Structure 1
Amino acid sequence: MVSRTVLVARLDNAGDVLLQGPLVRAVAAGADRVVLLAGPAGAEAAALLPGVDEVWTWRCPWILGNPPPVDADDLAELTDRVRALAPDEAVVSTSFHQSPLPLALLLRTAGVPRISAISVDYPGSLLDVRHRVADDLPEPERALSLARAAGFDLPEGTTAASRSGGRSRRRSTGRGP
């Protein structure tokens, strides 16, 4: 049996990460392993989401409110780590005012074969699934619509608002670059 690993990224604060619950549950229902890439402010929240097997923490220079400078070594370290993970695909979740394209470029460079995200900008070959939604869509619904566009859905009998239904299989919280 082939194991399917999906990298889910949400790089901002704890509240935004928690609102990814429906997306993560949907991805976990269709994947064998879910690794969630989170920013420092969202990593603890990411570890609380059912279906997350591992949490990676990374200070993203284009998402954080007080961003670190762009550092080539830091980008290379994350790229190498993603390459070593060799996920089958990635789902990049962002707020309506954020672009998924810089991370999509890094993921594509790391060899991720399938990348899905919501983007108003033309992604060229950076995204395999370019999903579009209305700007006023509530965040949990926005996230779940992305999961569905990527081919994932909640398990039968589970709603986006339900607190149960996801499996809890967390093994460790890892610190990334």
Structure 2
Amino acid sequence: MTTPLHPNWANVKNVLVMRLDNIGDVVMTSPVLRSLKEALPGVRLTLMVSPGGSAAVPLLPWVDDVIVWRAMWQQLGGGHADPAQEAELTRLLRERNFDAAVLLTSFSQTPHAAALACLLAGIGLRLGESAESAPGLLTHEPPSPTPEAAQQAERNLRLLESAGVPVRDRALEVHVSEEARRQAAALLPGPYLLLNPFASCSARTYPPERAAHAARLMAEQLGWQVAVTGVEKDRERAAALLAELGPAGVDLLGCTDLATFAALIGGAGLVLTNNTSALHLADALRTPVLVTYSGTDYETQWQPRSTRFTLLRRPTPCHPCYAFQCPFHLECLDIAPGEVAQAGLDLLARSAAPEAMTLR
């Protein structure tokens, strides 16, 4: 049964959407932003993001304004309390005169710190979801908890629907400029596989030399090049994998901004990546994606929903661990390069999307 739009939300014109996390998480806000624009004619959307997540904002055309903020409650280890900084945040939010705030979090995060800042700033409507109770901080929340293993974009959309905001399209979407597409084509005009070998934490990272070996095996079969992507700081640790790729490898480390990186993903025949932002960009751009997916999370939490994909993981008793560093030997990613390569070739061989969405 569809929930009717709550009367208090029917006339909002100035909405804050908060997602203070990484690039991939910001990309996953796209169906929420699109749905708000469609359901609330004339609404002005301001997206509040972390410095790291801010790179994704140009890919989201529904955003009218952006606030970049390093929130103390989102920092690893808890950060350091700074009353002056928190007072500045409250002042900033109050000055914007927001009618409502949509507080997007993942299953492991609480919206209550953000909700308190919004309450102190006089934002009357505060929509969020938490496993903990804090009466008065949220004005609207889902009637029942979202399951922990739910896909996290679906968690966000369920939040909107609980306030009666209709969702026409649940898919991720990003807009890549023609200039970014031209830059990507100039970097690599021919058919290629995109290898994104690094992740933000070691527990999610398939050994990069093994990833390069798998990519080389696929490239030899397909006659493709391999675009190696990453940031400039990855260059030192990329030497061995570039050597493994040999002449098939094209070193693009540190050569792109996020828009050009997205354009490269959109132009790739296949993306080989860990559980990181490249996975979500591939889903948004409908590029087939092969994911070496560690046991840190449930597959269902972050898997693609709109593109062809295969996730590779070894079953382990510690799954899901939600760890940043593996205390063992990363047994969940003990996958031979030949097996990875064959999975990629099999994925490319499948043509119909429903058959291609598999978990191995």
Whether the 8 Å contact between 1:10 and 1:39 is mirrored in structure 2 is yes
Match of 1:126 among 119, 137, 140: 137
Q: What TM-score, normalized to structure 2? A: 0.42
Query: How much has 1:164 moved relative to structure 2?
Result: 7.7
Match of 2:148 among 112, 127, 135: 135
What is residue 23 of structure 2 aligned with on the other side?
14
Task: Output one character per residue of 1:36-60: Cα deviation in whole Å (capped at 9) or x when no partner.
Answer: 1101111121332131111111101
Are 1:152 and 2:165 counterparts? Answer: yes
Q: How far apart, CA to CA, are the structure 1 residues paired with 2:97 and 2:164?
A: 19
Q: How far apart, CA to CA, are the structure 2 residues paired with 1:92 and 1:16?
A: 13
> Which structure has the greater CA radius of gyration?
2
Q: How far apart, CA to CA, are the structure 2 residues paired with 1:5 and 1:147?
A: 16
Are 1:32 and 2:43 counterparts? Answer: yes
Whether the 8 Å contact between 2:35 and 2:169 is mirrored in structure 1 is no
SS at match of 1:127: coil
Alignment coverage as a number of residue pairs: 161
- Higher relative CO (Cα under 8 Å, sequence separation at least 6) belongs to 1
Q: How far apart, CA to CA, are the structure 2 residues paired with 1:42 and 1:28?
A: 21
What is residue 108 of structure 2 aligned with on the other side?
97
Two-structure CA RMSD over aligned residues (Å): 2.0
Q: Structure 1 residues 144, 124: CA separation in 2 closer, same or farther (over 3 Å shift)? A: same
Whether the 8 Å contact between 1:21 and 1:50 is mirrored in structure 2 is no
Unmatched tracts of structure 2, length 5 or more? 1-10, 176-360
Q: How far apart, CA to CA, are the structure 1 residues paired with 2:54 and 2:37?
A: 18
Q: Structure 1 residues 162, 62: CA separation in 2 closer, same or farther (over 3 Å shift)? A: closer
User: Counterpart amino acid of 2:23?
Assistant: A
Query: How much has 1:3 moved relative to structure 2?
Result: 6.7
Unmatched tracts of structure 1, length 5 or more? 166-177
SS at match of 2:31: helix
**Higher share of residues assigned helix:** 2
Whether the 8 Å contact between 1:59 and 1:67 is mirrored in structure 2 is no
Task: Output one character per residue of 1:125-164: Cα deviation in whole Å (capped at 9) or x when no partner.
Answer: 000112231111101111111122233223xxx4211638
